[in-house]
Structures are given as structure tokens and as C-alpha cells.
Chains A and B, each alone.
Chain A
Amino acid sequence: MNNLLKKLKKANKFSFFSFWILFLLYIGAFLADFISPYPYDCQYRQYSLCPPTKIHFIDKNGKFHLRPFIYGIKVINPYFNEYEIDYSKIYPIRFFVKVPERKIFGRIKFGICLFRVEDEGKIFLFGTDIHGRDIFSRILYGARISLSIGIIGVCISFLLGLLIGGISGYFGGKLDTFLMRIVEIIMVFPGFYLMLALRASFPLNLSSIEIYLLIVVILSFIGWASLARIIRGMVLSIKEEEYILASRALGLSSFRIIIRHILPNTFSYSITALTLSIPGYILGESALSILGLGIQEPYPSWGNMLSSAIGNLKILTTAPWMLIPGFFIFLTIICFNFLGDGLRTVFDPKNW
């Protein structure tokens, strides 16, 4: 791992940074219960669509505070979501605050949160949504969905793709034709439509976990086909190699040859392709969630946090910070793209 990172750094600075940004994002998602100042479903109705809170070090009199602080929020007009900064109130930011009744992953009791201000003051780093929920906290919790769905989805479709591509390429003949026809049929579908149709073939009101699994299954079902095709092509050339002949002469079973001798030779390609195809899964989840077919409220995902800003110009123009989850999607995707490109350079035998 360390070795790989060093090579990555040498190959491409961007992909090295991307790796660490992604690392931070995943840590953030994992520690969401600890980092986020508020629970994801905590509504402050009086602060609906409140703009992001600014963090200050220097107060109005020009005095420097070592401990960062925020000003209070004054509600001017609750019906039009107008707010003003209340300079008379100062809330210093406290770190490692004790919070009663906080649980990690909803199970283990854990009473500390990274930063917070005293109860009357509210710290909304990225503002709030229509229900007055803190967007920063929701982004951290939403990252759990959006970041994990890519990895899990990709793993499933890779298992399928490797296995089917391997079998198809190794055995050839009628089995190959049959499997490749199926692959082609799936690739003929307009992807977005297939995703919708598959989603619609299950009830709309499922529990969050069921929907999560469903989305993973749907995305992997669409995703494995193109991979299987490419793996098959590689297997076709690998199986002509002499060491395959040798292992056949040694009497190894076909299954063992495919798993132990052919597929590992496609790994350097696969890992690159794996990294580069994660964005597709993240996009798929967000697309479904934006349309209201994915993860359901109140649980956040980066996609469904965007959905209330769609088709509602008033929200979009008065509260542009509602688009912040979109930028996190963008950040994640660009990092995976950079990382994938870097890995390609590292794995490319030309550069060894």
C-alpha cells in the first residue's frame, strides 16, 4: 500500500492528493456521529433556509480571539426566511463538547461531538435546508450512503463481470455466444430508462436499508455487462499464453485456471477500471435520489438533499447553499477520476 502510494505520488501529483481527499471524505463519513454538530434529522423550524454561519476570529472592536467564535442569528421575517447577524451575541466555538444521548451508527453510546456552540447559538457551516436542518451534518451522514454505494456496487458488478467474462472467454463456443448476447441486450438499453424501470418494479415505499440494497443491486445489474465484455476480450488473449497450457497439462480444473491464473492477470486493468467506474454508481444513486426514487427522507444522501432545490426557483435563488451536496458529488467524482488515471499510469507496464 505504502509502496503504491509512493509510485502514485511519482506518477501524478493530482492523483496522490485525490487519494488523501477521498480518504478524508471517507473518514468524515465514518465519524459523522462525532464530527457533525447536530443529528441529521434535527429540525430547527425557526431557522429554515438559514445562510451559512461565518466563523470569526476578530470581533467588531478589532479584538483578536484565539478561540474562534460566531455571532447569533436574528430572525427578521420567518415567512420569507430573512435572517440577520446579531452582533450583540457572541458564541465561542467549543471543541469536544459533551452531548448526551449521541450514538455511533445508532448503537454505541458516545457522548462527545467535535465542535459546537452553546445551546442558544447555532452553528450552520453550510446553512440549513427548508426544514431548518444543518446541511453540514447532513452532508457527513449523506456521505455514508453516497460514498459506500459506489464501492459496494462496483464490487458486486466486478465479481459478476470478472466471473462471467472469464467463463465466457475461457470456454468460448455456444456458452460464450449466449452470455455475450445477454451482455449486448443489457447494453442496448438506454441506461437511465433501465434504471427507472427496474426501480419501478419494486414498491416505492420501502425502508431505507431495503432501498439502499435495491439501488446497489440495480446499479450493479446495469454495470456488470460492459465489464464482462472487456474481461472476456482480455481472457481470449491470455488463455493462449503458454503458462495456461502448462496449468492445463498439470491437470488443473477449468474453474481453478480461470480464478487463479487468468483473472489475476486482468487485475491491473480491473483495479483501474474499478476506480474509474465508481463515479457512475455515485451518479446513479444521486440521479435516483434527486427524482425522489432513491434514499428517502429524513435520512440524507447527497442526491436527495438536492431534490428540494429542483423545480423550485424560489429555494434555488434564495438559498444557493442547497447546491453544496452537488459540489461534494463533484469533488468525489473528480478525485476518483484522478486516482484512476494515476493508477493506470502506475500499472502501465510501459512505465516500469
Chain B
Amino acid sequence: MKKYILRRLAQFIPLIFGMTLISFLIINLAPGDYFTQLKMNPEISPQTIEEMRKSFGLDKHPIIQYFYWIKNVLKFNLGESFAYHVPVSFLIKQKLKNTISLSIFSLLLTWLISIPLGIYAATKEGKWQEKILSFLAYIGISIPSFLIAMLLVFFSAKTMVFPIGGTTSIFSPDATSWEKFIDYIRHLLLPGIALTLSGIGSLYRLMKNNFLEALESPYIITAYAKGLPKLKVFYKHALRNSINPMITIFGYELSGILSGAALVEIITNWPGMGRLILDAVLSQDIYLVMASLLIGGILLVVGNLLSDILIAFADPRIRLR
């Protein structure tokens, strides 16, 4: 198992390497750099800008810049943001916390809702319950996440159910940490529900199809033939076999969260990575963009590894190999 994980890790290193190199080149394709905008400012002399550029290493060839960047990353130094004049790691730590909690919240909610629904629909295949659920799932798959987010913002602005934007309300200084936590969760609800609603449909469909497939397998007939009760057949045999492919999906979902959450974050004004990377890309804050992409890549690796490990736990056939 350990060897397997190590081998998987080794496969990912060149990928991350290639990805960062390409993104570095893409950003450098853009006309000008962060300091081009500063040139417009008459209060800053051209010499100062040249010096700043030099101090960030921007006067060198992009490829050389890239290797400098890699060298620093290996020392856990992600560089400094041009726009905010603070280390990139500081900025990202702040925002990543919010994005991760949003993603975990919606991921959990999505799974908790769609798996039971999928199983239920599979047992009711062809009946009206399944038809309604599947139609709703169709709508869920097709409705853009930004539209759900906008509708929810509209809804909560009308009814004041959820607070809109930010992570906290204004608080008296003696609020307990429990109260603060509840407040955080309350703010999390709006973007969280938007993401959940847009994710349920596809997961539900997968689970339903997996379960149906499992129900049609010969071992289910055997189980019935042995005289096992229906519930035991479902949960002992069909469920355990149909959940395996879902675990693989889980890894991919984890890697998709950065991308998937970004637009919803921007629309619902949730201070996560979405806004940060949008601003960073637009102002050519290179090191900030690179760090965000790197994190996206790392999440992918972690997600894949996690699903490999989980599936090894769940499926003895893979564990033994």
C-alpha cells in the first residue's frame, strides 16, 4: 500500500511541474506586468519602478523567473504579493480557510442528501417517486450554480433568512466562541446551499445507476435465493458494492472544489479564494496566481490519493492487489 501511494505521488510531480510552468508562461504572455499600471502614476519615478521590478526578479527571462520561483516554493516560500505587499502564504491562508470550510460543508451536505435519495430512487425504479426525483435531478444538473446563487441571494434579501456576504456579523467583544461559530455557519449557509443544490443532481444520478446495476448482479439473486431479508440484501450486498465507484468520484470532487466554488463565492460575496484569484489574475499579481494554481494542483493530488486509500479500505479486492 505504501509503495502504491508513493508511486502515485511520483506520477503527480511532473504533472504539477508542467502545470505551473505552463501557467507561468501564460501569465507572462500577457502584455506588461503588475508594474505597468504603476507607471501611470506620476508620483512614482521610473527608477523606483525599475528597482521594484528588479527586487521581484521581473527583469529576468520568464524561464529563469520560473526556476527562481520553484526554488523558493521548495523552501516553502511562495513569494510576496505585489498588490498587498504581504507574503502570498498569508493572504492565501486567510481565504483558503473560508473556501475549504465552504467546500467541506457543501460536500458533506451533497453526499448526505444525494446518496440516500439515489438508493431510494433505485428501489422505486419506474414508479412515480423515482420519476419525480429524476426530473428534479435533471433540473439540478442543468441549472447553473450562479443562477442558484443569485436566486438564493434574491430570496434571502427579500426574506432575511440568511445573512448575505462576509463571514461574520458585527459582534460585541464578549461573544463566546460558540456564538461566533454559529454565526460563521449562518453566513456559510447561503453559498453552501447554492453549491449543494448544484451538486446533488449528478451525484444522485450516479448513485441511482450504481445501485440499480448492483441490484441486477447475480450475487443479489444468490442472496435472495439464500432467503436473506430484502433490507439485508440491500444494505449488506448492494450498497457496499455500489458505493465503490462513488469513492473514486469523491477524490475528483475534492479537486474540483476550488474551481466550482469560485463563481458562487464571488456572487454571494463569500471571502474565499474566488475573489482573490480574480483580482490577482486581473492585476497580474503573478506569485499570488501561481500559488493559487499550485494549491489547486495539490488538492487534486490529495483528492486522488485520498480516494485511492479510501477505496482500498472499502474494497478488499483492491487492497489485496
Interface residues of A (CB under 8 A from B): 181, 184-185, 188-194, 196-204, 279, 283, 286-287, 290-291, 306, 309-311, 313, 316-317, 320, 323, 326-327, 329-330, 333-334, 337-338
**Does B5 sit at the interface, judged by CB under 8 A?**
no
Assembly CA distance A29 to B263 (angstroms): 27
**Does B19 sit at the interface, judged by CB under 8 A?**
yes
Contact code string B126-168 (vs A, CB < 8 Å = 1, else 0)? 0000000000001101111011001101100110000010000
A residues within 8 A CB of B16? 188
Assembly CA distance A196 to B142 (angstroms): 23
**Does B27 sit at the interface, judged by CB under 8 A?**
yes
Do the beta carbons of A188 and B19 come within 8 Å of each other? yes
Do the beta carbons of B27 and A197 come within 8 Å of each other? yes
**Does B15 sit at the interface, judged by CB under 8 A?**
yes
Interface residues of B (CB under 8 A from A): 14-16, 18-19, 22-23, 26-27, 29-31, 138-139, 141-144, 146-147, 150-151, 153-154, 157-158, 164, 255-256, 258-260, 262-263, 266-267, 269, 277-278, 281-282, 284, 289, 292-293, 296-297, 300
Assembly CA distance A199 to B180 (angstroms): 39
Do the beta carbons of B157 and A333 come within 8 Å of each other? no
Assembly CA distance A185 to B300 (angstroms): 12
Contact A309 to B150, CB < 8 A, known contacts A189-B23, A333-B144: yes
Do the beta carbons of A338 and B138 come within 8 Å of each other? yes
Do the beta carbons of A197 and B26 come within 8 Å of each other? yes
Q: For A193, A201, A286, A313, which residue has the most chain B Cβ atoms within 10 angstroms? A: A193
Do the beta carbons of B143 and A330 come within 8 Å of each other? yes
Do the beta carbons of A193 and B15 come within 8 Å of each other? no
Do the beta carbons of A181 and B18 come within 8 Å of each other? yes
A residues within 8 A CB of B259? 190-193
Do the beta carbons of A197 and B147 come within 8 Å of each other? no
Q: Give the nearest-CB partner of B12 in chain A.
A: A188
Q: Pick the contact of B153: A199, A286, A313 (CB < 8 A).
A: A313
Q: Pick the contact of A190: B153, B154, B258 (CB < 8 A).
A: B258
Do the beta carbons of A317 and B154 come within 8 Å of each other? yes
Q: Give the nearest-CB partner of B16 in chain A.
A: A188
Do the beta carbons of A181 and B14 come within 8 Å of each other? yes
Q: Pick the contact of A330: B14, B144, B158 (CB < 8 A).
A: B144
Do the beta carbons of A184 and B258 come within 8 Å of each other? no
A residues within 8 A CB of B144? 283, 286, 326, 329-330, 333
Do the beta carbons of B138 and A202 come within 8 Å of each other? no
B residues within 8 A CB of A326? 144, 146-147, 150
Do the beta carbons of B19 and A185 come within 8 Å of each other? yes
Contact A334 to B142, CB < 8 A, known contacts A188-B297, A197-B27: yes
Do the beta carbons of B142 and A333 come within 8 Å of each other? yes
Do the beta carbons of B296 and A185 come within 8 Å of each other? no
B residues within 8 A CB of A181? 14-15, 18
Assembly CA distance A189 to B20 (angstroms): 9
A residues within 8 A CB of B27? 197, 200-201
Secondary structure call for the B interface: helix
Do the beta carbons of A200 and B30 come within 8 Å of each other? yes
A residues within 8 A CB of B282? 200, 204
* B3 nearest CB across to chain A (Å): 22
Do the beta carbons of A334 and B138 come within 8 Å of each other? yes
Q: Pick the contact of B141: A306, A316, A323, A337 (CB < 8 A).
A: A337
A326-B146, A330-B144 known; 12 new pairs, CB 8 Å cut-off, are A181-B14, A188-B19, A189-B297, A193-B292, A197-B23, A197-B27, A197-B289, A200-B27, A201-B30, A290-B146, A323-B151, A337-B142
Contact A306 to B153, CB < 8 A, known contacts A190-B259, A291-B278, A337-B141: no
Contact A287 to B146, CB < 8 A, known contacts A193-B296, A313-B157, A334-B139: yes
Do the beta carbons of B293 and A190 come within 8 Å of each other? yes
Top 4 closest pairs, chain A to chain B, by CB: A334-B142, A190-B296, A190-B259, A192-B259
B residues within 8 A CB of A203? 31
Do the beta carbons of A279 and B18 come within 8 Å of each other? no
B residues within 8 A CB of A320? 154
Contact A311 to B269, CB < 8 A, known contacts A185-B18, A333-B142: yes
Assembly CA distance A291 to B151 (angstroms): 17
Do the beta carbons of B266 and A291 come within 8 Å of each other? yes
Do the beta carbons of A193 and B293 come within 8 Å of each other? yes
Do the beta carbons of A287 and B263 come within 8 Å of each other? yes
* B296 nearest CB across to chain A (Å): 4
B residues within 8 A CB of A316? 150, 153-154, 157
Q: Give the nearest-CB partner of B18 in chain A.
A: A185
Contact A306 to B30, CB < 8 A, known contacts A190-B258, A200-B281: no
Do the beta carbons of A193 and B138 come within 8 Å of each other? no
Assembly CA distance A343 to B303 (angstroms): 33
Do the beta carbons of A196 and B138 come within 8 Å of each other? no
Do the beta carbons of B158 and A317 come within 8 Å of each other? yes
Pairs across A and B, CB under 8 Å, 25 listed: A188-B15, A190-B259, A190-B296, A192-B259, A192-B262, A193-B281, A194-B23, A197-B23, A197-B26, A197-B281, A197-B289, A201-B26, A279-B142, A291-B263, A309-B150, A313-B164, A316-B150, A317-B158, A329-B147, A330-B142, A330-B143, A330-B144, A333-B142, A333-B143, A333-B144
Do the beta carbons of B146 and A286 come within 8 Å of each other? yes
Q: Give the nearest-CB partner of B139 in chain A.
A: A334
Contact A196 to B277, CB < 8 A, known contacts A323-B151, A330-B143, A337-B141: yes
Contact A323 to B150, CB < 8 A, known contacts A192-B262, A193-B296, A201-B27: yes
A residues within 8 A CB of B157? 313, 316-317
B residues within 8 A CB of A334? 138-139, 142-143
B residues within 8 A CB of A323? 147, 150-151, 154
A residues within 8 A CB of B296? 188-190, 193
